[in-house]
Structure formats: C-alpha cells, structure tokens
Amino acid sequence: MLRNTLLACATVLAAGVVVSPLPAIAQTTHVAYVYVSNLVSPNTSTKHDLYAYGARADGSLYRVTGAPFNYDINDLWDNSHYLFGLSGTQIDSYWISSTGAPQLVGTVDAASHASNFCGGIGPLKVDHSGRNLYNPIADGDCMGFSLQTYAIGSTTGKLTYKATSDEVFLGGQELDFLGNNLFAYSPVCTGFDHESVGFISDFSRASDGTLHVIHSSNAAITPKNSSDEYCPLTIATDPTNHLAVLEQELDIFGDPYGPPAIATYSATTTGNLTTTSTYSNMPHTRSGARVMRMDPSGKLLAVAGSNGLDIFHYHGANPVTFAKTLLTGVPVDALYWDHSNHLYAVTRSNIGKGKLYVFTVTTSGVSQAPGSPHSIPNADSLIVRATN
C-alpha cells in the first residue's frame, strides 16, 4: 500500500496585506510573465482559472489584459514559448502571445498512454532543452510512479507521446534535471509496510529526451543518532553539476526529528552522487519543507514551507549558508525565480486569502517589490516565463 508521509512543521497563520486587484493596462516593457492557477470555488468545485501578470524591472506587476482566463488548469510549467498545465488527466498546451495572453493550441490525454492508470498524475516538468515535457503517472503495478516523455512541437506547442520510463518504487513524482541535462533526480520519502523509505532515484536522459532509471550508487548521510535516517524531501539543481537536497531526519519510528536540513551533492560523469555533507555541517531551515528553488545563477537558494520563506547562499559542493528570512509565519506553497533577480512566492494559507509575493533578491540584499503582495484568492501552482 502506497502512502505519503507528512513531513512538515506546524502551520502558523499570519495576516498579510491584501492589495486591490491590479487594473489591466497597456504595457510593453517587462522582464517576465507570471502565471498562477487559482481554485475558483474550493468548497464546491475543483475548477481553476488562470491569473496572468507582466513583471517590470523593479518587480512590480501589471495584470495581463483578459486575466483571469477561463482555463481550468493547474500544475503549470513553461518552455519559454508555450505554457503547459494539467486539466484532470489532460495535458494542455498554450501559445503565449506578445501581450502574455495564453491561447489553447493542443491537448493530450496522459491516461490514454498508461497501460494501467492508477489515478496519480503530475506535476509536469520540462527539461533544459525545452523540447521535452515529462509527466509522472501512477502506472504498471501501481506501487510508484513512472515518467512519461512527450515531444513539444517547436512551431505548434502540441505534445507527441514518446515513451514511459520504468516505475520508481513508491515515488518518482518530482523530477529535477542536472545542469548538463544528461541526468535527472527524484527524491522519495514515504512509508511502506510500517517502515520509512527514503532515497534519491536517478535517471539518464537519452538524446531523444526519454528517461531511463539507472540505479546509481548515491552517497547517504548518517545522522548524529545512527539509529535515525535522513529522508530526501525535495531537490534543487544549480547550472553545473551540483544539487541541494532538503533532508528530514526520521527517528526509528519514522517520525520527523527536528527541522529539515540542507545537504549538497555533486554528480559524477556517470550520474552518481557524492557529498561532503554531514549532520554537523548541514544548516537547518526555519521555514519548513514544502518547496525549494535555485536561482538561475546558482548562487541563491530559496526554501519555503509551512512557517515562511528563507534565503541561503549556495556554494556548490560546499555547505550552504543562511542569508535571510523573508517571511515568517506565512505558509508558502510555491516558488519561482525569473532572470532579473526576482523571487515569486505563492501562499494559500486560508480559503479566499491567497497571495502572490514578489521580492528582489541578490547576494547583497533583499527588498519587497512595489505592490507586493497581490491578492489571488485561492492560489495554487505558479510558473514564471522570463522574457529577458
């Protein structure tokens, strides 16, 4: 029986500043488009709509004309030309106009390419080439997830099914590509048969974009108490061959012990992971363990969870160092960076009170962007398309 293990700190709700909806205005100067799926009626329906913003150089946002759009999608991803999202078992493709407005151009039913669909699907991910989209799906013997590969039509945005990877036992939903795009990793932290299960699964990426499980030998980190174990929650990769892994220590009963810690790994030319991280040099997070994102330069790491948002300096294979807490007591559910030093954070702490925060973050300082936070009642997934 497959079950997920809840590994999060207690949620502390905090009131934020709600701003009035932004007017849609003509705008040509921007550094990114920002898309957030929003659950329209959380008490009665699973239907979403799509909020869309343009981001200026100072991080202030303007609403794209026509937003929110009546597109029922979530689990968003992007390849700089097209926007993708899940609608039930369908993966929809959207062309993005010069104004940032999305237009549906194709759809494919992911379940139709599963030999034994078990109900689990997503979240979506695009590799660094931008030519392939991946969809985790519960398939086969239904004891884990496999990764479907779809080719992205360069001029149409339509998806063409290619192949499905072997199943990753008990896991396989998150997918993070190494900087060289040759290997991908997926953290597994769950429970099976009354025991905790934690490991990093790995894939090689073939020249046609398809993924293959390679079962590399990945170094494990031993906690101070040798009867405990570390369980990988989420991964972020830098532009080269390094990974940050958020690790939760579990006791012999499989219960969380202390706050999550951040380990650093290096990948060899064959995809194996090595580490110099130990229990004594891994910093702990203050925010929890929900999501982690690396900035495009590989110098900053954002970590967020049930109790806020932290920023760390990233040093490749060396231990990360704490920089600043941006939000305290605010549960953060999604993060993304653009290419202009902006960090976007979505929180949905209470029904009808979701927010989108925007920060300007550099190695020398942090400031909140003008107009931030922005009200998105029931914000869900987030994706940012850099335009510079």
pLDDT of 195 = 65
Number of domains the chain is built from? 1
- Cα–Cα distances (Å) from 235 to 20, 112, 293, 309, 316, in that order, read 35, 30, 8, 16, 14
Range of the domain at 228: 3-386
pLDDT of 72 = 96
State the amino acid at position 166 in one-letter form. D
Residue with tokens 């954070």: 345
pLDDT of 120 = 87
Q: Which two tokens stand for residue 6?
A: 């809840």
> CA angle at residue 234 from 231 to 239, to 5 degrees?
130
Residue 152 makes CB contacts below 8 A (sequence gap 6+) with 79, 82, 93, 126, 130, 131, 132, 133, 158, 159
Residues 158 and 322: their CA atoms lie apart, in Å, by: 42
Cα dihedral value 289, 48, 17, 334, nearest 10:
20
The pLDDT tens digits of the residues spanning 174-214 come to 999 999 999 999 998 886 666 677 889 999 999 999 999 98
Q: Which two tokens stand for residue 233?
A: 């929650």
Q: Which two tokens stand for residue 127?
A: 């590799």
Report strand pairing: 48-55 vs 61-63: antiparallel
Which helix (H) or strand (E) segment holds residue 237: the answer is: strand 229-237
Residue 112 makes CB contacts below 8 A (sequence gap 6+) with none
pLDDT of 194 = 60
Q: What is the CATH number of the domain that holds 32?
A: 2.130.10.10
pLDDT of 60 = 97
The pLDDT tens digits of the residues spanning 80-109 come to 899 999 999 999 999 999 999 999 999 999
The yes-or-no verdict on residue 25 having pLDDT over 70 is: no
Residues 19 and 152: their CA atoms lie apart, in Å, by: 38
Q: Which residue has the higher pLDDT, 287 or 172?
A: 287
Residues 234 and 161: their CA atoms lie apart, in Å, by: 27
Average pLDDT over residues 46-71: 96
